[in-house]
Amino acid sequence: MPLVTEGTMLRSALMNVMTATAIKAGRGLKRDLGEIENLQVSLKGPGDFVSAADRRSEKIIFEELSKARPGYGFVLEEAGTVEGSDKTHRWYVDPLDGTTNFLHGIPQFAVSIALEREGQLVAGVVYNPATDEMYVAEKGQGAYLNNRRLRVAARRDFADALIACGVPLLGKPEEHARFQRELALMMTKAGNVRRMGAAALDLAFVASGRFDGFWERGLSPWDMAAGMVLVREAGGFVTDADGGDRVLTEGTICVGNEIMHRELIKTLRMA
Ligand code: IPD
Ligand code: CA
Ligand code: CA
């Protein structure tokens, strides 16, 4: 259990395991980012190289967490679900969130690791190795960015709000019309909108007050699990895009402080 003292925190054993794992995986990704800049200009492009970097990161995370907490299960983006002998604990792992950014040499990507205990998300770590920003949260213990305590933004006026979102991919044409309606309406109500391209960091940015809110559809549990703990522990509201509690099963998310969250849900309903 972490000891909290005036905005800094002594990390628990669990947090040490999670952060050390994220740093180890992140070190490889940071090294690979340098290589991408070379591949970017080659005819072949960095596609295969990025897939390999992604798999390498996941392998490191799987090995480190398996060693530190034998028996825990896994929901891994690349390798899928791994049943553990311990049925009460399960990791959610996105070894590289923000792949498209990474592929283009844009330093907005992260390693995302969350722990679920008896069906509840209890800890989350989101680490961007390019900026060395480590976001951590443990249920009931607050959220931190590199040891600084986090709080969601206190903004009350939606017309001043900076709202993040996700744009559905080319391969999801059925989602395009709805997103266009939502964005069109959002532009008339929120201060401004951003699409940064890494959902785990979008959530971390809401936890740290950089963004006032965030919504996205079509996400997977590993995109959201760690960031959900961050936002909740920073005092934010976390629901699915209908205002319900089926975030992980529906794959939609809407977060912000109480007022921003309410305005977001209202706007999404009207769209
Ligand atoms: C993606 C990112 C992106 C979101 C996509 C996700 P990936 O994850 O989080 O922001 O819009 O829907 O799939 O593929 O980079 O791990
Ligand atoms: Ca992802
Ligand atoms: Ca990924």
- Domain locations in the chain as residue ranges: 4-149, 158-270
Q: Which of 40-49, 193-202, 241-250 has the lowest mean pLDDT?
A: 40-49
pLDDT per position as a tens digit, 10-33 = 689 999 999 999 999 999 999 999
Measured from the Cα of 100, ligand 1's closest atom is 15
Of all residues in the chain, what percent are helix, strand and coil, respectively (each to 5)? 40, 25, 30
Query: Is the CB of 166 inside a 6 Å radius of any atom of ligand 1?
Result: yes
* Whether the CB of 33 sits within 6 Å of ligand 1: no
CB neighbourhood size of 47 (10 A): 10
Q: Give bridge partners of residue 163 from the DSSP assignment.
A: 193, 213
For residue 98, the CA-to-ligand 2 centroid distance in Å is 6
Pocket probe for ligand 1: among 51, 193, 223, 224, the residue whose CB has the most ligand atoms within 8 Å is 223
Q: Where are the beta strands (DSSP E) in 98-156?
A: 110-117, 120-128, 133-138, 143-145, 148-149
pLDDT for residue 10: 66
Residues 150-185 have pLDDT tens digits of 999 999 999 999 999 999 999 888 899 999 999 999
180 membership: H or E segment, kind and range: helix 176-189
Is residue 197 pLDDT above 50, yes or no?
A: yes
What is the topology classification, in CATH, of domain 4-149? Fructose-1,6-Bisphosphatase; Chain A, domain 1 (3.30.540)
Confidence of residue 35 (pLDDT cuts 50, 70, 90): confident
Contact at 8 Å (CB) between 86 and 72? yes
In a mutational test of the pocket of ligand 1, which residue from 75, 97, 217 has the highest number of ligand atoms less than 8 Å from its CB? 97
Q: Give all strands (DSSP E) within the chain, no chain letters.
A: 3-5, 8-10, 72-76, 80-82, 86-97, 110-117, 120-128, 133-138, 143-145, 148-149, 162-165, 192-194, 213-216, 237-239, 253-256
Q: Is 22 in the pocket of ligand 1 (CB under 6 A)?
A: no
Q: How far is the centre of ligand 1, averaged over its atoms, from the C-alpha of 150 (Å)?
A: 24
Ligand that comes closest to the CA of residue 203: 1
Question: What is the model's pLDDT at position 5?
Answer: 46
Query: What is the C-alpha to C-alpha distance for residues 137 and 15, in angstroms, rounded to an integer?
Result: 8
Cα-to-centroid distance, 31 and ligand 2 (Å): 20
Kindly state the tokens that stand for 106. 């844009």
> What is the longest distance spanned by two Cα atoms in the chain?
53
Which atom belonging to ligand 1 lies closest to the Cα atom of 102?
A: 15
Tokens of 161: 């709000």
Characterize 212-248 residue by residue with b for buried, 16 or more Cβ atoms within 10 angstroms of its Cβ, and e for exposed.
Answer: bbbbbbbbebbbbbbbbbbbbbbbbbbbbbeeeeebb
Answer whether 199 contacts ligand 1 (Cβ < 6 A): yes
Rounded to an integer, what distance in angstroms lies between the CA atom of residue 124 and that of residue 234?
Answer: 12
Ligand 1 lined by 98 (C-beta under 6 Å): yes
Show Cβ contacts of residue 112 under 8 Å, excluding neighbours closer than 6 positions: 92, 93, 94, 97, 124, 125, 126, 127, 200, 222, 223, 225, 226, 227
Q: In angstroms, rounded to a whole number, what is the distance separating the alpha carbons of residues 255 and 40?
A: 35
Token output for 90? 């399960």
- Pocket flag, ligand 1, residue 197 (CB < 6 Å): yes
Q: Is the CB of 110 under 6 A from ligand 1?
A: no
Q: Identify which has the larger pLDDT, 7 or 254.
A: 254
Which helix H or strand E contains 15, and what residues bound it? helix 13-40
Q: Is the pLDDT of residue 39 over 90?
A: no
Give me ligand 3 centre to Cα 232, in Å.
22
- Alpha-carbon distance of 247 to 95, in angstroms, equals 20
Instruction: Please tell us whether the domain made up of 158-270 is placed in CATH 3.50.50.60.
Output: no
Which ligand 1 atom minimizes the distance to the CA of 98? 15
- Distance CA(125)–CA(25), nearest Å, equals 12
Q: What pLDDT is attached to residue 11?
A: 82
If one counts every other C-beta atom within 10 angstroms of the C-beta of residue 51, the result is 14
pTM given for the model? 0.95
Atom of ligand 1 at shortest range from CA of 220: 13
